[in-house]
């Protein structure tokens, strides 16, 4: 069965510092990887997906199949980036998502 691991429950950085939220997955096939974000008192929303290969709000993530990782990065963190970030994996048809445990990002002024 597939599994997603986010090793850090909490990541605290200062404004302007680089950010990297780690995500590792285990799946023998070719999964689709996502990052979802949940701001305070808001619903979960898609931040980015690996097949899009785009940058959203300054965040990027590259799928590394060799290391089975999909780390989320941003060169300069902003206070408004403070939120809960979930890495998720989808396999095959059906689109069901397997979520990692989540990382709370706190950006301090």
Partner 1 sequence: GAVVSQHPSWVICKSGTSVKIECRSLDFQATTMFWYRQFPKQSLMLMATSNEGSKATYEQGVEKDKFLINHASLTLSTLTVTSAHPEDSSFYICSAPFVSDTQYFGPGTRLTVL
Pair 2, 89: CB distance under 8 Å: yes
Which two three-digit tokens encode residue 1?
A: 């069965």
Q: How far apart are CA 28 and CA 61, in angstroms?
A: 20
Q: Does 49 bind partner 1 (CB under 8 A)?
A: yes
Q: Does 43 bind partner 1 (CB under 8 A)?
A: yes
Q: Is the dihedral of CA 45, 8, 14, 107 positive or negative?
A: positive
Q: Does 101 bind partner 1 (CB under 8 A)?
A: yes
Among 11, 13, 56, 97, binds partner 1 (CB under 8 A): 97
CA distances from 26 to 16, 89, 102 (A): 32, 9, 16
Q: Does 98 bind partner 1 (CB under 8 A)?
A: yes
Q: Does 96 bind partner 1 (CB under 8 A)?
A: yes
Contact segment (CB under 8 A) with partner 1 among 14-22, 54-62, 67-75, 99-107 equals 99-107
- The least distance separating partner 1 from the CB of residue 43, rounded to whole angstroms, comes to 5
| Site residues (CB under 8 A) for partner 1, limited to 74-93 | 86, 90
Nearest Cα neighbor of 103 from 75, 71, 62 is: 71
Which chain residues interact with partner 1 by CB under 8 A?
A: 36, 42-46, 49, 86, 90, 94-102
């Amino acid at each position: 069965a597939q599994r997603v691991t986010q090793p850090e429950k909490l990541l605290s950085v200062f404004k302007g510092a680089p950010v990297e939220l780690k995500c590792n997955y285990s799946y023998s096939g070719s999964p689709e990887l996502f990052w979802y974000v949940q701001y305070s008192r808001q619903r979960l929303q898609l931040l980015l997906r690996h097949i899009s290969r785009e940058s959203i709000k300054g965040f990027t993530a590259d799928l590394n199949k060799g290391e089975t990782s999909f780390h989320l990065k941003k060169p300069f963190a902003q206070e408004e980036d403070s939120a809960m970030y979930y890495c998720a994996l989808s396999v095959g048809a059906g689109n069901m998502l397997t979520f990692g445990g989540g990382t709370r990002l706190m950006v301090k002024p």
